[in-house]
Structure 1
């Protein structure tokens, strides 16, 4: 707790003693923190103290360190002024009479502790700013409290600079090594993806090589350039490669779908072949049949897909996407044609089987009605069965016979 004295009241020794005790505590703390900062290896390297050669600095680090060291020199100078003032007040306090107080001595101590008692500098007053009775120079004075506040701000500014350099020196080298490893990984990923334009990576590699040489002399400048230049470039490379990777994954998925479509078409083509050949053999009317796609057509689609895969392996992306879209459209159209052909070619066979089943059902119905021996039904049954179980079958005639059988059965 800091004690302040009221000039309108009589000063008592206890108040002065409390002020002096407070100042002793504050000065001890200030001294400890100043020496702690001065004891840092980084500070000693920058200042050329404790057996270290002064580090030769460049760039923004040189500017900031010069200001920080000047600030610390100022803090030490002001500390000496402050310490001398407080010590002088303490000596005066020892001179207080034991029993009878001395207002004059109390006021002298009070003036030292609370007044503008510390002379900081003498400033020349320009002639243009002087009046007839003005002095040629003026002295800048402050109270101990104000000087301590100034010292605190100055110390914190210098401390922040020194610690920033300490962090930069300890972390920059590992960070640069990590980035180089990351660049190598990105290079390998780019090679795997077939990406050849790696201008940004080359710029990063060249810049890092240059920055590594500057870590000792300009760590703050290296830190700024790394954060403002290197990191954004690396992020752009990552984004670019991620886009390419997504395209590659998409194309791989589309190629897998393409193979599935081709397999589907191949199976449909085989089914069309089978149904077409069977219908040619088993029915007489071939007008509704549709021939399957030729082997040359399928081979052309296979070769086209193979060429797309080869170019994809060579690193082409955009042309492959367009080619796959065109190929997929062609295959889907071919699948639609083959599906229609399978349906058309199977229809006569399904009709033939349906007529056989229908005839057997009608014969069972005739038997149930006791008309199995009906001459007309028997004759129609023999003719229809002969047609339906003979190759090729005249479906039109078979339909006619089965229909007549059904009508005759239902007439009575």
Structure 2
């Protein structure tokens, strides 16, 4: 460009050039420090060393291209500054006009050549094949590339930081649980295998595509949490199996005692039922079951599992037997309460009848014919076996009403 060309910018002064160079050197140092910090970043090292897949691979490929462009732009930017610095160093005490014009072009004009050719769709017939930017435009382009690349690196690093530790803890938990299974039986454990497959799939996803597990800017640990919870529950169950294995004699003794309680409760329930059927008219009471023998058979079957060292199955069967014994005991007690409840109801009515009789005597109605007759009818019902509870209840209530009526007449008189 001719220095007298129309529209040519006025050249900068020597002092202006020196000031601009000082600022650009400081800017270059800051840019270089930022680029080196990226190379040293933990997330960058993980991304460059990992075998990536899926969304993370796609985003890292874009970030890697931006970083490559960033370094190329920085090289061109640095080269332009070096050229300007070298030209400035050759200036004499009275710099010539052409040198000032060239330095002005380098520092404020389109002096940085972009890598690659201008795409065909952006070319003009007589335009240049290479695109050039000013130093400021180059910094803006580098800043944009840096922000986007750094965003991907930071996101991947945050995702790995949130996911790798719980993943490794879950994997260690699975290994511990597998060792516990191995110590208990020589067969594969279905639930442990299922959790292992889920954990393997999650491990592959976490290590190769952590960004696919990010939701709303946060790593989603839901699947990992569920696997860990499943392993915790499984390990707790297996620890219980180990306790039963190591203390089988004591556990079997407790089951034996529980079955003995069931048998005693069932005997009491049957006896109470027989008594209630004899003494209470029209009593409808279910026959109490006799589960003691069946429970003892199940207890004996545990010994066979013990002999075969089938500890997990033994623990499951022992737990089922414990629950069955508890349910049988409760059922027997319910039957007992139902039968004794009828007898208790008869006893309650007897007590109320005698209490009302005492009240009648206290009020001076001991010789009252109506009250004497009603008392006799109620007593006959309550002390006759079998007792008709429905009629007896009605008779006691009628006797009570008659006493109240006599009391009211006395007060009016």
**TM-score (normalizing by structure 2):** 0.50
